[in-house]
Amino acid sequence: MRTTPRLIAILGALLAAAHASLAQPLSPLPHGTRIEQVTVSGISSGAAMALQYAVAHSGSVSGVAAIAGPSWGCARGLVSTAINDCMCGRDTVPSALPLAKELARDGAIDALRDGHPQALARGFIFHSPLDATVVASTGQASAAFLASFIGTPPTVDNGNAGDGSSRAGHGIISPAGHDHCEASPQDRSYVRQCGQEDNARDLFHALFPEVHQDPALRRSPVNAGDIEAFDQRPFIEAVTRSGDYIAPDSLAFFWFPVRSERRKRLDMAATGYFHVPPSCRQPGARCGLHIAFHGCKQQVREFALTTGYVNWAEQNKQIILFPAIDQGDTPVSESCAAGAVDKSADSAWFQPNPNGCWDWWGYLDGVERTRYLTRKGPQMRVIEEMVHVITGR
């Protein structure tokens, strides 16, 4: 029997559905366990989502790390700007700080005190100078935005020549990475190995500088049993029940825009993962919650097992939440060499998400240009529901 791409996609969907049926509900922590702070990080579109969540919830999120991602508010709700400027650097992107302050004044994101967040105080940026998917200038824009928004410059890491990380391709760097350090047509996971460079280690150090990192205590290896699957669908349904507008993602008869089953789930997968280190399973433990957002074209399970978050979770006493986007079955090239995207894409009748990215340009919003940046953003609300369950507040 010939195996076609369509058949592979169908089998993959069936396996995902079967796996989702085995996923457990996301349960509260043991009695008396206290979450002392919430921090977030991500890579690529996940970096954008981490920044969006941190800025929108700056009264309760204390730290944010962005790896190889576009800067906050860069796209302004326009897919052409997202690709042409935020990713490919074809034009200079203006500061988004005025927009953040406007949204705070309007109550769309958490209020600021004396122009700065009430909790968000630490940041970390990693961006390779040779990243050809999201150019280095957008990492510089993120650093400048965070320095102004938080009031304190974030830790900035552009890699170094000694371990090759200054020549890294697009992705997150981990000793357990499967892809080569430099970009290659064979890239699959976007988890790269560049000597002993370790983005998870370094972002935790930047967000929790009071913790002494002992390399001898780094957990290794990480096994499948170290992460637990959970069912994301109840959280998604809690948001979609509101009936708020969700943009269509495909066309049907006579070019009529429709929403796929994937879009009806806000492009989110049925299953996410989490890791609770042993010390945080003890009643009365005091730990943090760290949310790690994968990037476009990344499978969340592989991301959780290989990126290093779990390796360093025990030392930093962090529960790690790995929420997931459904990757779909029709990825497209992200090469900036393909030429500029026409502005007509901004007014298209439907807004696809072929590469399984988090919503950092408003693909769920239609003509609305800022909802995805605010607490009303559909995916933001799903994550907020998860945080409420874990923290109990």
Predicted confidence (pLDDT) per residue in 262-318, tens digit = 999 999 999 999 999 999 998 889 999 999 999 999 999 999 999 999 999 999 999
β-pair partners for 39: 63, 290
Q: Express each pLDDT in 105-137 by its tens digit.
A: 999 999 999 999 999 999 999 999 999 999 999
CA angle 307, 121, 300 (to 5 degrees): 20
The residue ranges of every structural domain in the chain are: 30-330+337-391
CB–CB of 152/160 below 8 Å?
no
Q: Express each pLDDT in 20-37 by its tens digit.
A: 445 788 876 767 789 999
Q: Express each pLDDT in 150-172 by its tens digit.
A: 999 999 999 999 999 999 999 99
Entry pTM: 0.93
β-pair partners for 63: 39, 122
Q: What beta strand segments (E) does the chain contain?
A: 34-43, 61-67, 122-126, 155-157, 172-173, 191-192, 228-231, 250-251, 257-258, 271-275, 286-293, 318-322
Q: Residue 318's CB: how many other CB atoms inside 10 A?
A: 26
Return the DSSP state at 111: P
At 223, is the pLDDT very low, low, confident or very high (cuts 50, 70, 90)?
very high
Type of residue at 244 = D
